[in-house]
Structure 1
C-alpha cells in the first residue's frame, strides 16, 4: 500500500480483529505519514461510534487537520450480539434487531462517508473501502437465512455504489468499493467456523495483508464494485 506525498490513512473499527490488523499493517508498511485508528472503545481523538454521528463528525474534523487521507477503510460489522444471532427462518425476525443491523452495517458506514469523503483530496488516486460480506450479494444467495445481516450488507453495497457515482464528480480518480475479507478468525465469525473449508479460515494479520493487496491493485474503473480478498469481483 503506498501513500502519495504527504498523506494519511484511516481505519474505522480499529479495535476489532481485522481493523486492528489493518492499522498495524499500515503502520508497519510506513507508506503514510499518519495512520488514524478509530473505534467506539477508544478514548479522546480516536473515539468513533457508528451510532453517534457527532462522534463521526469529530473524528473527521481531527483527520482534516492534515495530512489529507488518501486511504480510508471501514472495518466494522455486526452479525451477532450476546445470545442474539443471525435469523435462521422468517419466524425469527425482530424489528429491533433488524434496525440495529442496519444501523451498524449500513447507516454507520454511510455516515462515515458523509463526513470523511469530503476531506479526501480532490485530485489524485484515493481509496474509500468498506468491509462487506459475500452473503450480502443478492445474486450469490443460494441458502437464504441470515435475513438482517444479508440485507444490511446488501444495503451497504448499494450505498457504496451510489457514493462511487457521486464521488466521481468531485474527484474522477477516487475509488469507492466494498470488500469481502473471507472468513476471518474473529469474534464475529467464531460461532460459525465449524463448516469453513480447510485453509479458508484466515487469521486477522493474513486477512489484513490480503485486503491491502487488493486495495493496492484497484484501478479507477473498479470504483463502485465489490471485491473479495483475492481481488475477484463479486456480483451485487
Structure 2
C-alpha cells in the first residue's frame, strides 16, 4: 500500500542530485532534521554508497528535465510522499562532446547554442512548471535554481562564452518571471537564482586555472554556503539573484 503523504511534513527536492554540487546539497540535506525526506531527481541513481548511507531519508526518482512526461510522473510521486518546501535545481551544461564555451562570435554554432539553452534554461523552467504547484500555500517555501555570475548582463565585462552566458541570463529571467506569478497564490513562497561560486566539479574542470586562492570551492563548501543563503531568504527576496555569500548580483 502506498504511503499516505503527510500534509505537514517537509520534503526537500534536489533536481540534478547526482552532479557535483547537487550530490553535496542532497548529502547535506539528508543530515538536516528540518526535512523529513530528501528527494533526488536525476537520470541515474545516486552513488550506491551515498544512497546506502542516507537510508530511507533519501528517495530517488528517475527524471529528465527535458522530458515533461517524466517530470509529471516525478511530481505525482513527490505529491504522494508529502509537500516540498525546498526545491533546488542543480542541473547545468557548460561543455561536452562537440560543445565548448565560445571565445569569439565566429565560434557560434546553432546546434550547440540550442543545446545549452535547453539544458540551462528550458529544463529548469519545466521543472518549476511541474513542481511549484506542489509547494504549500500557507507556509514558507523556496525554489532556488543554480545560475552563474556570468549570466549577469550588467556584470559582463569580458565577453565570450556566448551560449553559457545567454542560457544563464535566460534562466534568470524565467525564474524572475515565474516568481511574480508564484507570489500571487503563495505569498510566503520564494523563487530565486543562486551563483554557487567556482566549484571543483567536472563542469568547471577545464577552467579552474587562474582561479584566485580561496575562490575554488569544494562541492561540500559550495553546498554549505548555498544552504546558508537559502535559510536566510525571506519573502522580500522573491525573484532575486544572489551569490554564494548572500550578496545580490546585478541582472
TM-score class normalised by the smaller sequence? over 0.9
How far apart, in 2, do the equivalents of 1:20 and 1:117 lie?
Answer: 21
Q: Which residue of 2 aligns with 1:111?
A: 126
Q: CA deviation at 1:84?
A: 2.2
In structure 1, runs of 5+ residues without a counterpart are none
Q: Which residue of 1 aligns with 2:229?
A: 214
Q: CA deviation at 1:45?
A: 5.6
In structure 2, runs of 5+ residues without a counterpart are 1-6, 47-58
How far apart, in 1, do the equivalents of 2:121 and 2:37 lie?
Answer: 27
Q: Which residue of 1 aligns with 2:245?
A: 230
Q: CA deviation at 1:41?
A: 1.7
Q: Which residue of 2 aligns with 1:124?
A: 139
2:193 is equivalent to residue 178 of structure 1: yes
- Runs of 4 or more, structure 1, over 3 Å off, are none
SS in 2 for 1:167: helix
Q: Which residue of 1 aligns with 2:15?
A: 12
How far apart, in 2, do the equivalents of 1:157 and 1:13 lie?
Answer: 18
Q: Which residue of 2 aligns with 1:89?
A: 104
1:1-236 residue pairs with structure 2 within 5 A?
5-42=8-45, 46-236=61-251
Contact 2:8 2:83 in 1 (8 A): no
TM-score (ref. length: structure 1): 0.96
Q: CA deviation at 1:83?
A: 4.7
RMSD: 1.4
Could you give the per-residue CA deviations for residues 189-208 of structure 1, whole angstroms, max 9, x where no partner exists? 01000010000000001110
